[in-house]
Amino acid sequence: MKQRLQGKRALIYGGGTGIGLACAEAMANEDAAVFLSGRRAGVLEGATSRFAPHHRVGWAAGDATSAADVQRVTAAAVHFLGGLDTIVVSAGAGGRTPIFDTDPDEFQRIMDNTLRPVFLAVRYAAAELMAAGTGSIIVISSTYGLVGHKERVAYCGAKAGVIGMVKSMALDFADKGVRVNAMCPGYVETPLSLEVASLEDDPESALAAKRLMHAIPRPGRLDEMGELAVYLASDLSAFMTGQAIAIDGGYSAR
């Protein structure tokens, strides 16, 4: 077993599926103790069954847009883990939102489910992260936070906003031993990305286009996302903060 994260204690929002779960599994494989959160208790319970018996894994359901839930989940994670030095925020929402006809409530839904969890997760864990003496906050943004995309005004705006939050928080924490960085994945097939594609007029064509949209002509893999998260959580990245790291097969380089 590798041990790049031995002794680390990680809370992962959106940890029951997709990129969040991939990050949790990669961290556990590097000897971190992990605590998963998400809205659905059944999904979280099922996710824990994927971990090896020797892994230390806990979970608590909660809504990452609710201040009360985030406070409760943070307290449960600290109790289970014996402290907290790593947070992954992989919570968000997407959808087609052309500027011409998008309902304001749909715009707000994507904003609230993407920006608010980042603020709440960090706000209510800040004291624990600083008490640990060293810490890492990893926020899952998107390559669409770095570049624009047609008919995605809400998603692009929210993910770009996440990057702005990361840069600001990185400066707040810089002299306190805590680093803050964003991962900006390209297209990775997750339950959320498949759900978004299903809303297109021609879902199969939309999926085919997404799979080949990168300069490296394939989707990103979940294990690749997990590996970057491990690096950002580890002491190997101790001099890196405030960065938005594209892991998008060259899409944002075009």
Domain 9-191+221-247 indexed as CATH 3.40.50.300: no
Q: Measured between alpha carbons, how far is 235 from 121 in angstroms, rounded to an integer? A: 22
Measured in residues, the chain has a length of 254
Q: Which of 13, 124, 144, 155 is catalytic?
A: 155
The pTM for the full model equals 0.95
The tokens of 72 are what? 């409760």
Other residues' Cβ atoms within 10 Å of the Cβ of residue 75: 14
Q: In what order do the strands lie in the sheet with 9-13?
A: 57-61, 33-38, 9-13, 86-89, 135-140, 178-185, 244-247
Residue closest to 242 by CA, chosen among 143, 159, 138: 138
Element at 135 (helix H, strand E) = strand 135-140
- Give the span between the Cα atoms of 54 and 42, in whole angstroms: 22
Q: Going residue by residue through the chain (254 aa), what tens digit of pLDDT does each one get?
A: 579 999 999 999 999 999 999 999 999 999 999 999 999 999 999 999 999 999 999 999 999 999 999 999 999 999 999 999 999 999 889 888 999 999 999 999 999 999 999 999 999 999 999 999 999 999 999 999 999 999 999 999 999 999 999 999 999 999 999 999 999 999 998 877 788 788 788 988 988 888 899 999 999 999 999 999 999 999 999 999 999 999 999 999 98
Q: Is 124 an annotated catalytic residue? A: no
| Cβ neighbours for 7, distance < 8 A, ≥ 6 positions apart | 31, 32
Q: Is 68 helix (H, G, I), strand (E, B) or coil?
A: helix
Name residue, tokens 């799979």: 211
Q: Compute CA 138 distance to the chain's CA centroid, rounded to the nearest angstrom.
A: 7
| Alpha helix positions (H), 133-219 | 153-173, 191-198, 203-211
Phi, psi of 190 (to 5 degrees): -125, 170
The domain segmentation of the chain, as residue ranges, is: 9-191+221-247
